[in-house]
Amino acid sequence: MNDTPHDPDHDEFDALNGIDPADEADAEAGLNADPAHTGVGMDNLDAIIDERDQWKDRALRAVAEVENIKRRAETQNNDARAYAIQRFARDLLGVADNLERALQAAPKDADGAAAGLVTGLELTQKSLLSAFASNNLVRVAPEAGEAFDPHLHQAMMEQPSDTVAGGAVIQTLQAGYALFGRTVRPAMVVVAAKGSGPAPGTSASEAAHAYEASANPTGGAHDSKA
């Protein structure tokens, strides 16, 4: 019930200005908050939607930035760990090389105490390489015929070959190592010159026999993992 006294002059003013008393009553009751009652409410709704979209876009950008920061931090941490291990790994590569040379110089037909020494060197080398592998330090020693990879191999010389295609590895002079996919030391290799390769009609077994004979004139097979 409305206790406001009725004012005839007010009704006359509304009639002259085209104001509907029902609309005026709704406005006083707060019903004009409905956008259907006025164009001002619809404009406010559009502004609110635009502001909502802006905040949503800002929130999505902030989440994406946080993810980027996390990825960068993880990459930097991995790089720091890899760098620390890499320095230590380089110091151990000399030990691995000395073991390799000792095994190469050891007699193949040793017996007695000498045979035990050779076995001990082999077990030590196996244990060291296993420790390398468990820490993602991988030995790189390409076999004859493998493709040359400039990221992992270093060509020390180039020579013609009747058994290996041009551009492929003929022989590994010194094994290399890679840590987490990064080259710690490239493998030193001999690369087949351009135009190299088996002669037409040569079988794979004949080519392999020719390679062994050329690599080691004494008739022994060459150890490409030297």
CB under 8 Å to 156, separation ≥6 — which residues?
Answer: 173, 188, 189, 190
User: Which residue, among 135, 113, 112, 115, has the nearest Cα to 123 in the 3D structure?
Assistant: 115
pLDDT by residue for the chain (226 residues), tens only, comes to 455 555 555 555 555 555 555 555 555 554 455 545 444 466 788 888 888 989 999 999 999 999 999 999 988 887 787 777 788 888 888 888 888 888 888 888 877 788 888 888 899 989 998 988 888 888 899 998 899 999 999 999 999 988 888 889 999 999 899 988 788 899 999 999 887 777 665 544 554 454 455 444 443 333 434 3
Of 94, 89, 194, the closest CA to residue 135 belongs to 89
Taking the model in full, what pTM does it have?
A: 0.51
Distance CA 117, CA 177 (A): 26
- Tell me how far apart the alpha carbons of residues 176 and 93 are, in angstroms, rounded to a whole number: 9
Integer Cα distance of 141 and 108 in angstroms: 22
How far is the CA of 51 from the CAs of 24, 56, 169, in angstroms? 31, 9, 65
Determine phi and psi for 95, rounding to 5 degrees: -65, -45
What pLDDT is recorded for position 90?
A: 85
How many Å apart are CA 12 and CA 15, to the nearest integer?
Answer: 5
**Cα 14 to Cα 17: distance, rounded to the nearest angstrom:** 5
pLDDT of residue 142: 92
Q: What angle do CA 9, 10, 14 make, to 5 degrees?
A: 120
DSSP string, 175-212: -EEEETTEEEEPEEEEEEPTT-SPPTT--HHHHHHHHH
pLDDT for the residue 45? 84
Q: 187: burial class by Cβ within 10 Å (0-12, 13-18, 19+)? A: buried
